[in-house]
């Protein structure tokens, strides 16, 4: 149990899911504080059976706050996280700003919970596309050590925010009606289209989103030797990221062995029956916290390869759920994590 939990960015798309999860999972906090910009100040927000008024985010907002979950853009996180840490608050941050800081643990609770105990006031939650891929990689890595990964992502518009979701809806209607389509959020029209760029270009020809998957994966698994190549694509899907992944391991794994390892891992659901047309899809994964895996097969291009398909709700396990799980760990084990003294 902790005394006070704050949610920063409480009125955003992910922030609202965080609030729903806190109520659903009966988060062990005596007091809840909702923080956002001045534009949202005073807005009443229902959390479970209680209504809370949103407060303006200021440095003094964190006095007496034990844990804060932040779901904000990078520039906001860069500003508010130091305010919180200075006042003794442990921050679970969902932005990309602190993820690759060597002093900040990057955590998926099912994968590397031990890293939480190394925090110095900040714990980062990974990129949504990284999270579901690493969840799939972890049991295979532990059993046979992953050498190489080739991944193509098919990322829903919800990952770009509420305005992006509205743009997909409006653009699809316009496309069907053969009317002009506006594209303000995306660089190209999204309806009935695929955009093979998420993030800004990097000198090596990859995008920032693709390099997040490379660098974050190595950090979470603690293995810089894993070779990873990613291609990230925005698709006209409302919610739920999909990934086609080829995983090459040192030790040979059969498809049945991989299937059993994945099915036995917490937070993974295997849906894998091609003949029955049973496999993960974004529409059925949306609204769930698990990572769904199917189309598991031995690769025919390399002897130790496993090819598979995975889908996850990017707003839940890819963002809100992962952050809430980290906060739950802190509430259970103390604010420094297992094996360290701290308030609890």
pLDDT at 146 over 80: yes
Rounded to an integer, the average pLDDT of 106-132 is: 98
Q: Is 6 helix (H, G, I), strand (E, B) or coil?
A: strand
Say if CB 303 and CB 330 are below 8 A apart: no
Provide the mean pLDDT of the chain: 96
Please give the pLDDT value at position 338: 55
pLDDT at 340 over 90: no
pLDDT tens digits for range 289-332: 999 999 999 999 999 999 999 999 999 999 999 999 999 999 99
Distant-in-sequence, close-in-space partners of 277: CB < 8 Å, separation ≥ 6: none
pLDDT tens digits for range 192-230: 999 999 999 999 999 999 999 999 999 999 999 999 999
Provide the H-helix boundaries in 106-186: 128-144, 162-176
337 band by pLDDT with thresholds 50, 70 and 90 = low
Please give the pLDDT value at position 103: 97
Fold of 2-97+319-333: Rossmann fold (3.40.50)
Please give the pLDDT value at position 335: 86
Catalytic site positions:
128, 241
Q: Where in the sequence of the chain do the CATH 3.40.50.720 domains occur?
A: 2-97+319-333
Say if CB 11 and CB 43 are below 8 A apart: yes
CATH architecture entry for 129-313: 2-Layer Sandwich (3.30)
pLDDT tens digits for range 31-60: 999 999 999 989 999 999 999 999 999 999
Share of the chain above pLDDT 90, in %: 96
Distances in Å between the Cα of 140 and the Cα atoms of 60, 225, 256 are 45, 16, 12
Rounded to an integer, the average pLDDT of 268-286 is: 98
Distances in Å between the Cα of 214 and the Cα atoms of 151, 196, 281, 283 are 10, 17, 24, 27
pLDDT tens digits for range 220-268: 999 999 999 999 999 999 999 999 999 999 999 999 999 999 999 999 9
Sign of CA dihedral 121, 115, 324, 25: negative
């Amino acid at each position: 149990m902790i005394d006070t939990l704050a949610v920063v960015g409480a009125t955003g798309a992910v922030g609202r899911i965080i609030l729903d999860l806190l109520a659903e999972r009966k988060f062990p906090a005596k007091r809840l504080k909702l923080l956002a910009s001045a534009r949202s100040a005073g807005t009443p927000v229902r959390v479970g059976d209680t209504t809370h008024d949103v407060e303006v985010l200021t440095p003094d907002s964190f006095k007496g706050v034990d844990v804060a979950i932040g779901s904000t853009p990078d520039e906001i996180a860069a500003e508010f996280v130091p305010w919180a840490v200075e006042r003794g608050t442990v921050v679970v941050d969902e932005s990309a700003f602190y993820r690759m800081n060597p002093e900040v643990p990057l955590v998926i609770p099912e994968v590397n919970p031990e890293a939480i105990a190394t925090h110095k006031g900040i714990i980062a939650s990974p990129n949504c596309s990284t999270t579901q891929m690493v969840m799939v990689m972890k049991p295979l890595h532990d059993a046979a050590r992953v050498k190489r990964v080739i991944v193509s992502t098919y990322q829903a518009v919800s990952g770009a925010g509420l305005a992006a979701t509205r743009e997909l809806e409006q653009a699809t209607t316009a496309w069907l009606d053969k009317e002009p389509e506006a594209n303000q959020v995306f660089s190209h029209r999204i309806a009935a289209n695929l955009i093979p760029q998420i993030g800004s270009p990097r000198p090596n020809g990859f995008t920032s989103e693709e390099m997040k998957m490379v660098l974050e994966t190595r950090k979470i698994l603690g293995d810089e030797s894993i070779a990873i190549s990613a291609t990230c694509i925005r698709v006209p899907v409302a919610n739920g990221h999909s990934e086609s992944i080829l995983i090459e391991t040192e030790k040979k794994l059969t498809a049945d062995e991989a299937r059993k390892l994945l099915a036995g891992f917490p937070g993974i659901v295997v849906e894998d029956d091609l003949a029955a047309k049973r496999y993960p899809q974004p529409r059925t994964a949306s609204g769930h916290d698990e990572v769904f895996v199917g189309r598991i097969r031995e690769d025919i291009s390399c002897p130790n390869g496993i090819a598979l398909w995975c889908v996850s709700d990017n707003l839940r396990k890819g963002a809100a759920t992962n952050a809430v799980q980290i906060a739950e760990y802190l509430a259970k084990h103390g604010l420094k994590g297992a094996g360290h003294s701290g308030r609890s």
